[in-house]
Amino acid sequence: MKSYVLILIAFIFISGKQQDSITRTQFFPKIEQRAKNIPAKDKIWVFILAGQSNMAGRGLVEPQDTVQSERILTINRTGEIIVAKEPLHFYEPSRTGLDCGLSFGKELINRIPQDISVMIIPAAVGGSSVSQWLGDSTYRNVQLLTNFREKAEIGKKYGQIKGILWHQGETDATQNRIPLYKNRLSQLFEKFRAISGNENLPILIGELGSYSTNNESWMKINEQIQLYVFTDRNAMVVKTSDLKGIGDNEHFNSEGQRELGCRFADKYLQNL
């Protein structure tokens, strides 16, 4: 009888996990559309998404997130240029969901010259720390800085790298790491700019959300971000305090991700 109960519990758990996976992926695009007539290099603005899970995306992808525009491009896992649909990230298939990239692109193309296209390049990996990026560590099967370098080369091949969108810090919100965060950001962003070939490249930094059970430590990370931005005239902070989570105390929900993308675009254009 005891064995039967254990088997039943295991069955219910596995069934629940399978249902969660189906729900998470039910609106993922079934068809990948290759980009036709890729614009000239000087007509493509490239933005790289980097950081951890809130940049990689954990929101629920809905039909509106797969409505494409020929002016918003991205890459697939083999580096081919495709028309952008969410989810953009592909490094963590069992976790990836809606990120802020497509909403960023949509907001941007509505406010820049019509002959300009936008390429959004995904490079974020959930759970990664700043020190792992600095050390070019392999995390969740991705060599972080090497992968960024490879994606930046694709961006430079097809367009002009115009900025980096960064959201990260949850992993660094510990007593030992918080005091080091500002200086580590400075070192990492210096590397990003060197790789991108522009020492004045704009970097937009999203704050951590305000829905965490570890909120005090997250706010200390936000303070470190603010301190860093005071030292870098080409870095900008995007506010997130009013954005909601999905209920896991870690990740923005779909509405929050879409709004975050719009705020990244607005902040970029304000400082263009």
Distance CA(63)–CA(65), nearest Å, equals: 5
Confidence grade of residue 22 (pLDDT, cut at 50, 70, 90)? confident
Confidence grade of residue 7 (pLDDT, cut at 50, 70, 90)? very low
Q: pLDDT tens for residues 32-67?
A: 999 988 999 999 999 999 999 999 999 999 999 999
**Which residue ranges form the domains of the chain, and what is each CATH number?**
41-270 (3.40.50.1110)
Confidence grade of residue 21 (pLDDT, cut at 50, 70, 90)? low
pLDDT at 17 (0 to 100)? 44
Distance CA(258)–CA(237), nearest Å, equals: 17
| Residues 6+ away with beta carbon under 8 Å from 82 | 32, 33, 34, 35, 73, 74, 75, 76
Q: CA-based Rg of the chain, rounded to a whole angstrom?
A: 19
Q: pLDDT tens for residues 147-169?
A: 999 999 999 999 999 999 999 99
Nearest to 73 by CA among 51, 93, 101: 101
What are the respective helix, strand and coil percentages of the chain, to the nearest 5?
40, 15, 40
